[in-house]
C-alpha cells in the first residue's frame, strides 16, 4: 500500500471508529459486533505502525493506550480550579440565596443544579476541535499533565462535533463506575491480591499510572460540567451545558434549571435516594447561579466562587469497636487524638482510624476504652466518631484520659485560654514538630522543593543534619550521598531543588515559615503591605491590624513569632543563605496615584489582558474588587461587558470609564 492509499484508509478507519465509539459510549447502542470493532482497531494500529507520519492527532488508537510516561509535567491552569463552599444545612442554602440576592441587588436570577460526582477533577483543553491536553486539578493553581492517560477515557471526545476554531477548556470529573470498581476488585481477589478501598482514590491513582495501556484497562468514565468559551451565544451555564452536549461531551442528564431556592430544595429532596441508582458515587448537589454575567458580578472569595455552593447529603454511619486512642503531634505542636478502630466498611471505604479532634470531644463523647462507637465520614471523606453505643459498654470500662505530656517528647502540654487544642511547647526539641515544619517549608505553596520528601527529611533528621528549614541550605553533596538509597543524580537533584528555593518570592517564603494562622493568602497580604521581613518583624499589634483582612488572632500570632529569639536567628540564617525576604522591584507598587481607589473590571480589552489591567491598578496603589456597590469608584468597561453590571453601575451613579479613559486617568493622576 502506497502512502496515498494508506492516508485514505487511516482516515476512513478513524472516522468509522469514532462513529461507533460515540454510539456505544454516548448513545448506548451498537451497530457492529465487538469482533468487527476490534478488527478495525487492529487494522488501524498496523497501518499507523507502518506509516507513523500519517497518524492523526485524534487517532482512535490512543484509546487503547501504550504510552509510557516516566513523569508528568506541571501545568498552570488558565484560571484557578477553586473548591466550592459546602454545607449540610438547608437553612445555609436559604442564607446563600439571600447573599446572592443582596449581591445582585435583584431577585431576578435562576439557579442551575447538578449532582456532585465523587471523582477526580480534570481540565481538558481543545484546539480547533482536537483534544490537546488533559490536566489534574492539583492544588487548584497548577496540576499534572496526564494527556496520554486522559485520551484512554472513551467518553472524552478526542475530536468534538463542532466547527468551533481556536482554543477552549472544559472541566469535569473522572471516575470509575460502580460496576467496573466491583469487577476490578473481583479480579484482585482472583489474583490473590488486596482489594482497592474506594473508587475515588483508585481513579486518582489510575490517572497517574505510567502505563496508559493499563489506564485504558481500568475503563474510567468522565462527566463534564464546565465550559470556558468565547461565544456571544452563551449567556448562561445552561447554554454552556447544551453546547457541550451538542459538541459530543459526556454530560450527565441529571441537571435541572431552578427558578428559585424552593425548586433547588425540591431537587435536593428528589435525588437524596434516587442518586443511589446512578452508575457513579455521588455525595451531594452543586448549585450555581445560571447567568454568566451575574456570576461575574458576584465574583469570588480567595477560595471559592460567591455564585455557587455545594450541598452535601448526610453521611452514612456505621458502628465498630474502639481498639485504642493514639495521639498525633502536628508541626505547630497541636496534639490530635485519633481513634484506632476495628476496621469497618463505610461509604465506599474501609475505615480503621477516625479523628477525635481534641480533649473536649473525648469528654463530650464520654469515651471509654473498648467502647462500641458510631463512625461517620465528614463530607463522606474524613472519618469521625460521632457517638458511643452506651448499652454495649463493659461494666468496668475505664474512661479515656487525655494525656498531660507530649506523647513524643514528654514535655508538659499547654492549652491557651479560649482554645480547645493542647500544644507541646517544645518546638525545637520535639521530632514531629521539627520534621513537620521542614515539610511545610518545602511544600508546593512554599518553596516547592519536590526533590525532597517526607522520607528524606526523616533520614536527614535521624542523621542529626536537619533541625530547622535553614539547615537545608547547609547540606553538602557528601552528607546527602551518605543517605540510604541516594546516588549521584538523586543527590544533585536535591541540591538543585534547594538552590532553586532561593528564587521563590518573599510571600511564599513567609508562608513557608509556618507562622500560626498565616496561610498563603495572608502571607501575600503581609508581604505586599510591609515589603520585607524586617518591616514585618518590627510591626506592632495595631499596625498589623491596619492591614486589610488581618484580625486580632493573626496579629497576635505574628507578634509572638517575631518575639522569639530562635525565630529571629532562623530568619537571619535564611537571609545569609540568600532567600528572598523582601519584595522584588517588579512586585513593588510603581506609585500610589490610585491609592484608596477601587475598581471593577468587566469585558474584553484591546491593550490589556484582564490580569494585566488588574496588576496595573494594584501597582499604582488601587484595589480591584469583584462586585459593584455604592462604595465603588470606577467601573472599567470593555467590549461585551455584562449588561447587569452596566445597569447596576449606572443606577448607583458609578464612574464608568473605557480602557482609554483609564489610561488617561492614570496619566492625570501621575501629573498631580
Q: 317-392 domain in CATH 3.90.550.10?
A: no
φ, ψ dihedrals at 117, nearest 5°? -85, 140
When mean pLDDT is compared over 511-525, 556-570, 611-625, 644-658, the highest value belongs to 556-570
**Tens of pLDDT along 136-169?**
988 788 888 999 999 999 899 999 988 888 889 9
> According to the model, what pLDDT value does residue 380 have?
47
| pLDDT(550) > 90 | no
| pLDDT(587) > 50 | yes
> According to the model, what pLDDT value does residue 542 have?
92
| pLDDT(511) > 60 | yes
| pLDDT(379) > 50 | no
| pLDDT(447) > 50 | yes
Closest CA to 129 of 154, 158, 156: 158
DSSP 433: H
> According to the model, what pLDDT value does residue 672 have?
43
Across residues 26-37, what is the average pLDDT?
Answer: 71
Residue boundaries of the structural domains of the chain: 3-64, 86-312, 317-392, 431-503, 506-587, 598-671
User: Under CATH, domain 598-671 is a member of which superfamily?
Assistant: BRCT domain (3.40.50.10190)
Instruction: Judge residue 401's burial from the number of C-beta atoms within 10 Å of its C-beta, 0-12 exposed, 13-18 middle, 19 or more buried.
Output: exposed
**Tens of pLDDT along 222-256?**
999 999 887 778 999 999 999 999 999 999 999 99
From 49, 116, 246, 377, active-site residue: 116
Length of the chain measured in residues: 672
Closest CA to 241 of 129, 134, 115, 135: 115
**Tens of pLDDT along 276-305?**
888 888 889 999 999 999 999 998 876 789
| pLDDT(503) > 60 | yes
Pair type for strands 655-657 and 634-637: parallel
**Tens of pLDDT along 389-415?**
999 999 999 999 999 999 999 999 999
Question: Which has more pLDDT, 499 or 664?
Answer: 499
User: Under CATH, domain 431-503 is a member of which superfamily?
Assistant: 5' to 3' exonuclease, C-terminal subdomain (1.10.150.20)
> According to the model, what pLDDT value does residue 27 have?
61
Question: Which has more pLDDT, 39 or 254?
Answer: 254
The matching CATH number, chosen from 3.30.420.40, 1.10.1240.10, 3.40.190.10, 3.30.470.30, for 86-312 is: 3.30.470.30
Q: What percent of the chain has pLDDT over 90?
A: 49
Question: Which has more pLDDT, 171 or 216?
Answer: 171
Domains 86-312 and 317-392 alike in fold? no
Closest CA to 69 of 207, 218, 221: 207
**Tens of pLDDT along 637-648?**
887 676 777 878
312 is catalytic: no
CA 600/CA 325 separation, integer angstroms: 52
| pLDDT(352) > 80 | yes
CA 215/CA 222 separation, integer angstroms: 14
Across residues 24-45, what is the average pLDDT?
Answer: 74
CA 395/CA 155 separation, integer angstroms: 58
Residues 6 or more apart in contact with residue 584 via CB below 8 angstroms: 505, 506
Residues 6 or more apart in contact with residue 550 via CB below 8 angstroms: 522, 525, 526, 544
When mean pLDDT is compared over 297-301, 609-613, 620-624, 646-650, the highest value belongs to 297-301
> According to the model, what pLDDT value does residue 232 have?
72
User: Under CATH, domain 506-587 is a member of which superfamily?
Assistant: 5' to 3' exonuclease, C-terminal subdomain (1.10.150.20)
> According to the model, what pLDDT value does residue 47 have?
84
DSSP 302: S
Contact 642, 296 (CB under 8 A): yes
| pLDDT(516) > 80 | yes
Question: At 670, is the pLDDT very low, low, confident or very high (cuts 50, 70, 90)?
Answer: low
Mean pLDDT is lowest, of 85-94, 288-297, 519-528, for: 519-528
The domain 3-64: what is its CATH number? 1.10.287.610
| pLDDT(67) > 80 | no
* CB contact burial 381-398 (16+ within 10 A = b; e otherwise): eebbbebbeeeeeeeeee
DSSP 504-567: S-HHHHHHHTT-TT--HHHHHHHHHHH-BHHHHHH--HHHHHTSTT--HHHHHHHHHHHT-HHH
User: If you average pLDDT over every residue of the chain, what do you get?
Assistant: 87
> According to the model, what pLDDT value does residue 24 have?
64
> According to the model, what pLDDT value does residue 521 have?
75
> According to the model, what pLDDT value does residue 66 have?
58
**Tens of pLDDT along 482-497?**
999 899 999 999 999 9
Amino acid at each position: 500500500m502506497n502512502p496515498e492509499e494508506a492516508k485514505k484508509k487511516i482516515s476512513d478507519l478513524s472516522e468509522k471508529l469514532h462513529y461507533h465509539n460515540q454510539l456505544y459510549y454516548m448513545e448506548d447502542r451498537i451497530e457492529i459486533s465487538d469482533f468487527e470493532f476490534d478488527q478495525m482497531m487492529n487494522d488501524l494500529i498496523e497501518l499507523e505502525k507502518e506509516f507513523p507520519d500519517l497518524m492523526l492527532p485524534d487517532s482512535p488508537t490512543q484509546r487503547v493506550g501504550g504510552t509510557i510516561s516516566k513523569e508528568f509535567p506541571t501545568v498552570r491552569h488558565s484560571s484557578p480550579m477553586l473548591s466550592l463552599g459546602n454545607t449540610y444545612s438547608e437553612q445555609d442554602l436559604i442564607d446563600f440565596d439571600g447573599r446572592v440576592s443582596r449581591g445582585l441587588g435583584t431577585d431576578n436570577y435562576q439557579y442551575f443544579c447538578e449532582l456532585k460526582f465523587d471523582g477526580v477533577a480534570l481540565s481538558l483543553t481543545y484546539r480547533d476541535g482536537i483534544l490537546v491536553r488533559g490536566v489534574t486539578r492539583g492544588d487548584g493553581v497548577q496540576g499534572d499533565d496526564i494527556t496520554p492517560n486522559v485520551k484512554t477515557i472513551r467518553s472524552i471526545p478526542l475530536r468534538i462535533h463542532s466547527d468551533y476554531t481556536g482554543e477552549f477548556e472544559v472541566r469535569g470529573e473522572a471516575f470509575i463506575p460502580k460496576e467496573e470498581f466491583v469487577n476490578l476488585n473481583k479480579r484482585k481477589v482472583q489474583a490473590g491480591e488486596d482489594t482497592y478501598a474506594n473508587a475515588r482514590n483508585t481513579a486518582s491513582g489510575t490517572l497517574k499510572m505510567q502505563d496508559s495501556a493499563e489506564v485504558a484497562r481500568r475503563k474510567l468514565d468522565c462527566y463534564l460540567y464546565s465550559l470556558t468559551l468565547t461565544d456571544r451565544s452563551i449567556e448562561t451555564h445552561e447554554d454552556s451545558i447544551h453546547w457541550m452536549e451538542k459538541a459530543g461531551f459526556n454530560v450527565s442528564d441529571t441537571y435541572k434549571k431552578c427558578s428559585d431556592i424552593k425548586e433547588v430544595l425540591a431537587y435536593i429532596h428528589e435525588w437524596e435516594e434516587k442518586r443511589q441508582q446512578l452508575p457513579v458515587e455521588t455525595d451531594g448537589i452543586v448549585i450555581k447561579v445560571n447567568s454568566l454575567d451575574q456570576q461575574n458580578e458576584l465574583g469570588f472569595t480567595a477560595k471559592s466562587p460567591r455564585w455557587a455552593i455545594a450541598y452535601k447529603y448526610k453521611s452514612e454511619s456505621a458502628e465498630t469497636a474502639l481498639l485504642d486512642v493514639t495521639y498525633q503531634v502536628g508541626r505547630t505542636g497541636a496534639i490530635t487524638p485519633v481513634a484506632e478502630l476495628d476496621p469497618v466498611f463505610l461509604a465506599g471505604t474501609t475505615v480503621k482510624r477516625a479523628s477525635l479532634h481534641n480533649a473536649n470531644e473525648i469528654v463530650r463523647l464520654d469515651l471509654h476504652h473498648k467502647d462500641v462507637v458510631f463512625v461517620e465520614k465528614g463530607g463522606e471523606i474524613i472519618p469521625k466518631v460521632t457517638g458511643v453505643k452506651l448499652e454495649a459498654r463493659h461494666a468496668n470500662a475505664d474512661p479515656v484520659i487525655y494525656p498531660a505530656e507530649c506523647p513524643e517528647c514528654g514535655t508538659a502540654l499547654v492549652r491557651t485560654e479560649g482554645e480547645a487544642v493542647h500544644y507541646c511547647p517544645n518546638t525545637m526539641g520535639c521530632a514531629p514538630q521539627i520534621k513537620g515544619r521542614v515539610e511545610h517549608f518545602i511544600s508546593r505553596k512554599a518553596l516547592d522543593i519536590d526533590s525532597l520528601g517526607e522520607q528524606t527529611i526523616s533520614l536527614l533528621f535521624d542523621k542529626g543534619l536537619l533541625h530547622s528549614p535553614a539547615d537545608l541550605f547547609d547540606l553538602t553533596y557528601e552528607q546527602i550521598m551518605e543517605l540510604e538509597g541516594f546516588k549521584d543524580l538523586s543527590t544533585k537533584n536535591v541540591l538543585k531543588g534547594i538552590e532553586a528555593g532561593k528564587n521563590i518570592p518573599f510571600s511564599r517564603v513567609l508562608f513557608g515559615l509556618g507562622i500560626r494562622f498565616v496561610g498563603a493568602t495572608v502571607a501575600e497580604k503581609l508581604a505586599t503591605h510591609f515589603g520585607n521581613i524586617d518591616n514585618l518583624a518590627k510591626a506592632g499589634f495595631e499596625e498589623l491590624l491596619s492591614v486589610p483582612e488581618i484580625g486580632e488572632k493573626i496579629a497576635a500570632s505574628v507578634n509572638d513569632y517575631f518575639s522569639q529569639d530562635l525565630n529571629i536567628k532562623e530568619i537571619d540564617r535564611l537571609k545569609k543563605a540568600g532567600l528572598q525576604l523582601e519584595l522584588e522591584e517588579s512586585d513593588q507598587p510603581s506609585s500610589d496615584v490610585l491609592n484608596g481607589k477601587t475598581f471593577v473590571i468587566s469585558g474584553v480589552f484591546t491593550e490589556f489582558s484582564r490580569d494585566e489591567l488588574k496588576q496595573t491598578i494594584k501597582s499604582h496603589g488601587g484595589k480591584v474588587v469583584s462586585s459593584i456597590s455604592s462604595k465603588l469608584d470606577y467601573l472599567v468597561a470593555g467590549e461585551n461587558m455584562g449588561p447587569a453590571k452596566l445597569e447596576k453601575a449606572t443606577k448607583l451613579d458609578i464612574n464608568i470609564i473605557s480602557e482609554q479613559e483609564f489610561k488617561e486617568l492614570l496619566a492625570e493622576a501621575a501629573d498631580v
